[in-house]
Amino acid sequence: MELAPPSYESATQVDIWNLASTYVTHPHDLCAVSLVCRRWHKTFSPRLWGSPAVHFHNHRDGDDRVMTRFLLALPSARLEVRRLTHTLRFPSRKDLHDGLGTGWLRDVLHLLPNLQSLIVWRLPSFDHQTLQNLVATARRPGPNLQVTSFSLRLMEASRCQNLTSQSLADALPLFGNLLYLDLSFTQSARDRGVLDSLKNLQGLQILKLRGVGLGDDNVGVLARAIKLRVRSLDVRDNRITDQGARTLLQECFLANDVDRGDSDRSRERPQVDMLHLSRSEDFEPYLLYTFTTTFADRLSIEDTAAQGLTHLYISGNSLTADIVCEMAKTARLHVLDVGNLKKEYPAEPMYRSEPVHQTPGLALLPSVLLTYAATTLTLLRIDYNMAMMISPQPIAGSAHTSKFALASLKTLILTDVPYSSTNEDIAHSIINFICLCAAESQSAWAQAFSDYALPPGRRGNIAAVRQAAKQRFALTRIVLEVTSKLGIGGSTAKDFNAEDGETMLSMTEDRDSEAFWAASNADFSFFDKDDGSLSCDGPARSSVSGGGTRMASGFDTIALVAAFRKDRKIAFERQQAASFDNHSPSTAGYWDGVVQVVRNAEVHPDRMNDYYSTRFVQKAGF
């Protein structure tokens, strides 16, 4: 991901000590091997001093004492040693506040010239006085006021409640090289002055402002400040409505001709040669890992043309399906997190002159997604209840021939999945979707094997077939975010009652219309011409309906799905053992993708939900 390619010597010569240094992690061992010779010192010292908080932690002394001793020893350390530090992680301890003075940030940024990552999550010492001290030192007196710019490229300052809007607005322009900025749950970040100061961060790629209380007016200031520079924006859990989201749509998305209904519009538009990671959900974790593990040169994405927003996390706001449809029509989004949407409809009927497929609304959201985002969207996080209420219908004249509408979708996250219900409808709707995934995966493999353009050779052919199959069907992961609520029997969606103060599902709000809506709740699928009633083998169906999954409060949804997955995996293994062809999965209902269950997804709402590890969330996969 570096801009300049490696030299010929560095690319052809392999240094075994560089490979061995990755396995030496204990600080005492690193200190010992660094004193052996100059060559070993050059190899192992960057591992030792790159991130001091990682290596100098012990059980007797806490992280606060370790960081305090490190900061006190900085002035006496040699410059060549101080240049090896690229990341500082401060523990969120109140005890550290007493050990640090108001000039600790100024000393850190001046004494560590190559520091690129500063993580001060929930640090009380990262306060108003510290930033004011830094600003006063950075501004050099003279006829022409000069301001020092620091080399930080990543700063995570979420939940820093001791900051003020004035100090934050004055200090942000000093970090003009930032690519990653996280101010989530820092309430002073919603100030207009702070949002306007973001225009000085010309290289900003990822901005996180989750839970800071942004309103529509604040979003307007934010959109005019960042324009098209930011690729990934996290504004979850705020007070944004359709008006604020439409401002983002006008200011932070590249202009696109949305009047055409042709599904091949994204193919006609010239594509920018950018990295694959910048299109996927791994874009943010990769930058976070790169900047906190080693020194990173200038990245290639910094020199590409402004693309506008491609990763948008906007769940937890008061949005409707209308604005989501408008965002999807831009055909620019690779990652979209909408979560729960408002189910509001106007009291009066809508008379529109445009065709039906251009009318925004909840019922038309699947059609808009498959028409405009079929080849761009790689991750979609959507409310399970809303997903069960909508049923996509094929659009006449659509160029999509594959059954799976969102061919590029790799991860589908369904939120608010009830842990139990009064019957098995919720579990069976998920099982039917998995069966559809299995059928489409097998169809993609069959089409890939029949492609005459694949290169010959057994080993190379299998790799090429796998790649060709993924181009036709890319879904590899389904995440079920389980809630503690009980599902309603006989329906897979929420019941909305106007008498309870909530909006009903139909526009007419009569009982007959509500009955039709309830009858079509289980019809949701991302597949064209499918009623969601795909049946698998008899043994598989009966195996998930047996005893052991009935709870006191109802049927265990996750247990039913897990039983089905286990049964299909056993059947697949038996069939593969009896077959000579190990590369053609043909077991009905078996899908080689991953189904993950996430419980307590909001335990740490200010931390990134990492579905690949158990650090922040508790999950189960089957």
pLDDT band at 214 (very low <50, low <70, confident <90, very high): very high
Mean pLDDT on 254-278: 51
- CATH fold for domain 50-252+273-306: 3.80.10
Please tell me which residue, 512 or 317, carries the higher pLDDT value.
317
Q: Which residues of 603-620 are buried (b: 16+ CB within 10 A; e: fewer)?
A: eeebbbbebeeeeebebe
Q: What angle do CA 130, 94, 65 make, to 5 degrees?
A: 90
pLDDT band at 564 (very low <50, low <70, confident <90, very high): very high
In this predicted structure, what is the pLDDT of residue 560? 92
pLDDT band at 395 (very low <50, low <70, confident <90, very high): very low
In this predicted structure, what is the pLDDT of residue 221? 96
Q: HSE on the CB side for 367, CA within 13 Å? A: 21
| Residue 544 pLDDT greater than 80, yes or no | no
Please tell me which residue, 95 or 69, carries the higher pLDDT value.
69
Check: CB of residue 84 under 8 Å from CB of residue 46. Answer: yes
pLDDT band at 524 (very low <50, low <70, confident <90, very high): very low
In this predicted structure, what is the pLDDT of residue 584? 57
| CA-based torsion, 297, 300, 305, 310: positive or negative | negative
| Residue 597 pLDDT greater than 60, yes or no | yes
Residue type, 319: L
Distance CA 328, CA 336 (A): 9
Q: Taking all residues of the chain, what is their mean pLDDT, rounded to a whole number?
A: 76
Mean pLDDT on 198-215: 94
In this predicted structure, what is the pLDDT of residue 261? 43
In this predicted structure, what is the pLDDT of residue 614? 34
Mean pLDDT on 403-415: 79
In this predicted structure, what is the pLDDT of residue 426? 85
Q: Output helix, strand, coil percentages for the chain, rounded to the nearest 5.
A: 40, 15, 45
In this predicted structure, what is the pLDDT of residue 503? 43
Q: Read off the pLDDT of residues 416-455 as tens digits, 9 standing for 90 and up.
A: 888 887 778 888 888 888 888 888 888 888 888 777 676 6
Q: Read off the pLDDT of residues 120-154 as tens digits, 9 standing for 90 and up.
A: 998 888 999 999 999 988 876 555 555 677 889 99
Two structure tokens written together for 372 = 């405009």
Mean pLDDT on 497-526: 48
Q: Read off the pLDDT of residues 22-77 as tens digits, 9 standing for 90 and up.
A: 888 787 888 888 889 988 888 888 888 888 877 665 545 555 677 777 788 888 88
| Residue 323 pLDDT greater than 70, yes or no | yes
Please tell me which residue, 83 or 28, carries the higher pLDDT value.
83
In this predicted structure, what is the pLDDT of residue 193? 95
12-21, 229-238, 588-597: which is most confident: 229-238
460 CB neighbour count, 10 Å cutoff: 11
In this predicted structure, what is the pLDDT of residue 217? 95
In this predicted structure, what is the pLDDT of residue 465? 79
Please tell me which residue, 259 or 55, carries the higher pLDDT value.
55
Flag the least confident range among 24-33, 108-117, 311-320.
Answer: 24-33
Q: Which residues of 352-374 are buried (b: 16+ CB within 10 A; e: fewer)?
A: eeeeeebebbbbbbbbbbbbbbb
pLDDT band at 269 (very low <50, low <70, confident <90, very high): very low
Q: HSE on the CB side for 484, CA within 13 Å? A: 3
pLDDT band at 310 (very low <50, low <70, confident <90, very high): very high
| Residue 284 pLDDT greater than 50, yes or no | yes
In this predicted structure, what is the pLDDT of residue 582? 52
| Residue 586 pLDDT greater than 50, yes or no | yes
In this predicted structure, what is the pLDDT of residue 4? 61
Please tell me which residue, 486 or 480, carries the higher pLDDT value.
480
Mean pLDDT on 564-573: 91
Q: Count how many residues are written for the chain.
A: 622
In this predicted structure, what is the pLDDT of residue 581? 59
| Residue 196 pLDDT greater than 90, yes or no | yes
pLDDT band at 526 (very low <50, low <70, confident <90, very high): very low
82 membership: H or E segment, kind and range: helix 79-82
Share of the chain above pLDDT 70, in %: 68
47-56, 95-104, 401-410, 585-594: which is most confident: 585-594
In this predicted structure, what is the pLDDT of residue 239? 95
In this predicted structure, what is the pLDDT of residue 585? 53
| Residue 470 pLDDT greater than 50, yes or no | yes
Please tell me which residue, 228 or 601, carries the higher pLDDT value.
228
| Residue 508 pLDDT greater than 60, yes or no | no
pLDDT band at 190 (very low <50, low <70, confident <90, very high): very high
| Residue 605 pLDDT greater than 90, yes or no | no
Q: Determine phi and psi for 477, rounding to 5 degrees.
A: -150, 130
In this predicted structure, what is the pLDDT of residue 264? 44
Domain boundaries, the chain: 20-49, 50-252+273-306, 370-621
Flag the least confident range among 112-116, 286-290, 373-377, 598-602.
Answer: 598-602
42-56, 233-247, 262-276: which is most confident: 233-247
pLDDT band at 270 (very low <50, low <70, confident <90, very high): very low
Distance CA 48, CA 457 (A): 46
Mean pLDDT on 277-304: 85
Return the bridge partners of 551, or none.
554
Which whole-number Å values give the CA distances from 236 to 90, 210, 246, 308, 521, in the listed order?
25, 5, 16, 18, 27
pLDDT band at 617 (very low <50, low <70, confident <90, very high): very low
